[in-house]
Amino acid sequence: MNRQSGRRVAVTGYGALCSLGNSVDEIWDSIGQYKVGYRRVEHPEAPIVARFFGVMDNKPPRKQFSKAILKFLPEFAKLGMSAAAEAIHSAFGDTDLDQLCDPFERGVIFGTGWGAQDESTINNNAFRDGGTASPFSNLLVMPSVATAAISMQWNLRGYQNTPVAACATGSIAVGDAYEVIRSGRAKVMLAGGGESIREGFGVWSIDALRALSKEQEVLERACCPFSLDRSGFVLSEGAAVLCLEDYEFAKARGARILAEIVGYGNYSDARDITSPAEDLLARTMTIRTACAQAGMPADAIDYVNAHGTSTPLNDLNETQALKLALGNAAKYVPISSTKSYTGHLIAATGAIESIFCIKTLQTGLMPATIHLARPDPECDLDYIPNEHRHKQGLRHVLNLNYGFGGSNSALIFAAADA
């Protein structure tokens, strides 16, 4: 493979939790069994039209984390801590990180779309009604609070950042961490995102944009990417984190290499705050740049994990962009949307779908796009309808994520021995 200059980057660990499970294995097993992580939830606030949400009822215990850190964390950050803990254990087991590399050689990029909107609303209401609120209110609503907490918990004193790019946040975090390691600025990076929006105002503020699913009764129509029945996305909570390492460093320490990141693209629509650009140029450039960085033609992609939000605009625009970016290869590559299982985790979605890409490389399972009973004839690519597909020897998979504000990202993962 003729990759551009720069250090190679391995993925050596991952962690995730959402309404499908509290670990990567639980979530992947749920997808394998066609389980759905969202259900009908009644919000008492009358103006909210949406009825289906991916809420987490059984969150993991947090006793392993410092109480001094937990006390100023909003829910999205607590979820991020759990995902980071799994990723670190996945990569390093019980080995002390200080035995492996200097704290200044390891860092974290953890993003969020709407951060602590729930906690902001709760504390604002408390202050308005009673003249007081949490003394940690300022810290609770700091977008970088999760990044700070993760760095403090595991003494990550290297590069840190907090991307806020709506629904592309998680994959941009992974892509930017990839670039940090490629440039030689770090040996180890944690990267991902988290989201938890459950309070009435936060949910209403998205619902008011008519972005959430309008389906009131039938689960199969609540989230049905690329279907004629699609009407909006299902809001879900969760977090996901990947552990990235300098490939040679990981190899030298005898790490289990799960996959390699070989390409990353990131371009902006610069057109509309919520709708994708009709000219398709940024999405096309994002995919083509990732392929170019990986040194591979479009027809070398074995599977695409699409953004596939189940919104009328995105799914059609994404189909058109894939055709433009991949050319004739778009007709043949298997593509699916795993949001049909998880719902939309906003900032966590790009990171958790990156993990799904790696699991696809490892297992040969390409998840079906479920609920695709009535395909939109304009979304006419191979979206793996309703039944999983299996193929061994997959080499390269593409993860696509897009977000409000015109953010677009693409990541290419290669099998560990590719």
pLDDT at 4: 57
Residue 418 has pLDDT above 80, yes or no: no
pLDDT at 321: 98
pLDDT at 2: 43
* b/e per residue 347-378 (b: at least 16 CB within 10 A): bbbbbbbbbbbbbbbeeebbbbbbbbeebbee
- For residue range 384-416, list pLDDT tens digits in order: 999 999 999 999 999 999 999 999 999 999 999
Question: Strand 9-18 and strand 52-54: pairing?
Answer: unpaired
What's the token pair of residue 7? 């250090």
Dist CA 63 CA 126 (whole Å): 28
Largest alpha-carbon pair distance within the chain?
63
H or E stretch including 167? none
**Among all residues, which ones are annotated catalytic?**
167, 307, 344
- For residue range 125-183, list pLDDT tens digits in order: 999 999 999 999 999 999 999 999 999 999 999 999 999 999 999 999 999 999 999 99
Residue 181 and residue 147 in contact, taking contact as beta carbons nearer than 8 Å: no
- For residue range 25-70, list pLDDT tens digits in order: 999 999 999 999 999 998 887 799 999 999 999 999 999 999 999 9
pLDDT at 1: 41
* pTM higher than the cut 0.85: yes
**Residue 223, SS3?**
coil
Distances (CA, A) of 63 to 14, 105, 280: 20, 27, 47
| End-to-end Cα distance, the chain | 8
